[in-house]
Amino acid sequence: MNALNQATTAVFDWLLWLPEQLGRVFALCFASAVFGVFALWVFKQVSPQRRIKEAKERIKAHLIEIRIWQDDLRIVGIAIGKVLGRNLQYLALNLTPFLPLFLPFALVVAQFVVRYGFAPVPTTPPGMERLAGAGTTIDIELAATHASRVGELVLVLPPGVEQVSPLVVNARDGRAFVEVVARESGVHELAFELDGARATKLLAAGAVAPRTIQGERGTGFVDALLWPAEPAFDEGSPFVRIRHAQPDADLGFLPGGPGGIVLSFLVLSMLAGALAIKPLKVQI
């Protein structure tokens, strides 16, 4: 999955370079619309268009039957049953083709989230202190086999990032927490070492504009699918998850954060797809 994410990221870097010259909001709107039209075209190719049209026509015919024979309860009851059955058939014919589109859809949405959903954390210049809890808290979660050794965890910070709290550990859950502040702008690599294994987590801070930002790095297929900007941990790694809060991006009239990006993508892509139904002559 990590290799697929790297390839997908490289492709999106190339595809989105030109739209991003006009701004992140334009790139998100443009790419969402293009995906919506493209997904509609793919749906047309993989769905049984003739059977969908036939199911819609039969539903209309049964509704007309109900209208004509509205005084005959037996005929009306049978017609209602046929309408319900044809509706189930219609839904199945429409939903089944979406199954092969799920993985491409998830890959695209994840790319948009890490590209447009987050902003760098604010910096705290040297000599200026932040109140406790106002920095960035890093949450490190270890595998169950290493939970009891969480107290041996070593934190290695790069220049420009400062630890402002002790490492707080919970051996029962195998979790550790530490608060840091960024003193300088940049994409900083935080490192964590345990039992000869080393894990890293990127922290974007200040006046930087990296192509991708994410606040979480985990293990397994789902985490790799949701967070493609950094590789997922290997299954044998003592580290299960490293995460920190990441501010939502300011996208003007569009909402930021993962939820905002997903909502914007869905609305924009569906709107573009709806406008393209007739020109593409798609039965849906």
In three-state form (DSSP H/G/I as H, E/B as E, the rest C), the secondary structure along 224-269 is HHHCCCCCCECCCCCEEEEEECCCECCECCECCHHHHHHHHHHHHH
pLDDT at 185: 93
* Stretch(es) of the chain classified as CATH 2.60.40: 136-247
CATH 2.130.10 fits 136-247, yes or no: no
pTM for this entry: 0.83
Q: Which two tokens stand for residue 187?
A: 């994409």
**Is the CA virtual torsion 161, 163, 164, 168 positive or negative?**
positive
pLDDT at 127: 62
Which of 42-46, 123-127, 230-234 holds the top average pLDDT?
230-234
% of residues, the chain, pLDDT over 90: 44
For residue 130, name the pLDDT band (cuts at 50, 70, 90). Answer: low
